[in-house]
Amino acid sequence: MFNRITATPKTYAWGSTTALPQLLGVAPDGSPQAELWMGAHPDSTTYILDPHAGQPATLNEWIATQPEAALGERTRLPFLFKILAAAKPLSLQAHPSLERAREGYAEENRRGVPRDAPDRNYKDEWHKPELIVALADGFQALCGFRAIDQSLKLLQHLAALADARPSILIEGFRDQLENVGIEPTVRAVLTRQPATLVRALVGASRSNDSQVWAAEAQLLLSLDKCYPGDQGIAIAALLNFVSLRKNEALFLPAGNIHAHVAGLGVEIMAASDNVVRGGLTSKNIDVPELLRVLDFRPTRVPYVKPVTRVDGFVEYHVPVSDFQVMRADAGTTVNFIPNESAVVFATTGSTTVTQGSNVWVLKQGEAAYIAPGTVPFLLKSEGDTFIATS
């Protein structure tokens, strides 16, 4: 079954005032529109446009009252589709494993923490691995701990730029990283909140007038402009920093410390809102819990290389079963059998969807929900179309 769907953008402070309206083809209203959620998460409503006879007006209610028609054999929609538009950096954060999510959810329930309490970490009992795909060149993100030898080089570079006292602080930070490793160094920064170290790193970055580590120095300055003196700035100096080109992607598993910095992207994740924050935010920060869920192992930038399938779809392979992400590029015509529930979103141009004698056209910024079935759909994309399924 094919249903057009829509949702109301979420207006978080870090959102762009123009990117989402431009994508959706509507006039900006001046608010920072940050995310558009498509799915059945309880913290957002996805509306069904022109529901069929007897069908509720929201995807959330349809799944709750008629799960077999909406989901087939499943009992919940396991993924959430988002469009993310960041004008300022998001919080420095990580997501729990499935086991820790269930433990944390039960613990907070036992303590009687209201689900909507600002200091609650676990709003549900699910993990939240996620994939982010850039919709334009220049999507910036922090993603996992950089190789130690590279962070040592960055800190040595910044120490050489700093005045005497700040240089000593940065050298001490560097020596600590070299001598004891990432985990003790991160624990010390987050628990002792060394404001003087942050000022030293930012001041040294301001003195950088070469192309050596230029992107990282500019990042620290940008973070300090948004979150002056925040302890997360020192942690950011230890992380992979990447600028994605259009259609490049990152996969962020449980425990990966990350922060989207700027840009417009498609984000698909397990259907959870469990976020543990450690800085760069005005929201609740829970350092002990963040330290509990973090994976401190250095990692390369977690790129996901898209692969063109024999059926014409471009697929982003991820090592989880909660979601599968495909892209149909301009000029692509593909058959799609909806063995599982799917969200289809036209990010550029329009997409024509045909099933038998039924023909639907999704314009740029429009989306549809397709319930499981055995009758194939034909997708003809005049722009870029993303399909998320499980």
Longest dimension (CA), the chain: 76
Q: What share of the chain is helix, strand, coil (3-state, %, to 5)?
A: 30, 30, 45
* CA–CA–CA angle 79, 81, 83 (5° rounding): 155
Residue 250 · residue 143 · CB < 8 Å: yes
* Residue 301 maps to a domain: no
Query: Do 268 and 347 lie in a common domain?
Result: no
Residues 141 and 87: their CA atoms lie apart, in Å, by 12
Whether 297 maps to a domain, the answer reads: no
Query: Do 90 and 215 sit in the same domain of this protein?
Result: no
Count of structural domains within the chain? 3
pLDDT at 81: 98
Q: Active-site residue numbers?
A: 277
Query: Per the domain annotation, does 293 fall within a domain?
Result: no
For residues 179 and 315, membership in a common domain is answered with no
Of 370, 363, 347, residue with least CA distance to 83:
347
Determine the Cα–Cα distance for residues 373 and 345; give it in Å rounded to an integer: 19
Q: Which of 82, 77, 73 is nearest to 60 (CA)?
A: 77
300 assigned to some structural domain: no
Domain boundary among the residues 183, 210, 235 is at: 235
| 158 vs 329: CA distance, rounded Å | 43
pLDDT value at position 194?
A: 84
69 and 131 part of one domain? yes
For position 332, which CATH number holds? 2.60.120.10
- C-alpha distances (whole Å) from 186 to each of 150, 224, 285, 346 are 16, 18, 15, 41
- Does some domain include residue 133? yes
Looking at 175, 208, 235, which one is the last position of a domain?
235
Q: Is 87 in the same domain as 192?
A: no
Asked, for residue 286, whether it belongs to a domain, the answer is: no
The reported pTM is 0.96
Token digits for 240? 């992979």
Q: 141: burial class by Cβ within 10 Å (0-12, 13-18, 19+)?
A: buried
Quote the radius of gyration of the chain (alpha carbons, Å): 22
Q: According to the model, what pLDDT value does residue 193 have?
A: 78
Distance between CA atoms of residues 266 and 249, nearest Å: 9
* Token pair for 146: 């950089």
Give 133's strand partners. Answer: 249, 266
Mean pLDDT of the chain: 96
Q: Are 380 and 266 within one domain?
A: no
**How many Cβ atoms sit within 10 Å of the Cβ of residue 19?**
22
Please report whether residue 96 resides in a domain. yes
- Specify whether 107 is located in the same domain as 25: yes
Q: Specify the pLDDT at position 191.
A: 93
| pLDDT in the model for residue 234 | 98
Q: Residue 96 is part of which domain span? A: 2-143+244-277
| Angle at which helices 195-206 and 148-161 cross, to 10° | 70
Query: Which residue stretches of the chain have pLDDT < 50?
Result: none
Write the burial class of residue 50 (CB in 10 Å: 0-12 exposed, 13-18 middle, 19+ buried).
exposed
Tell me the three state secondary structure of residue 133: strand
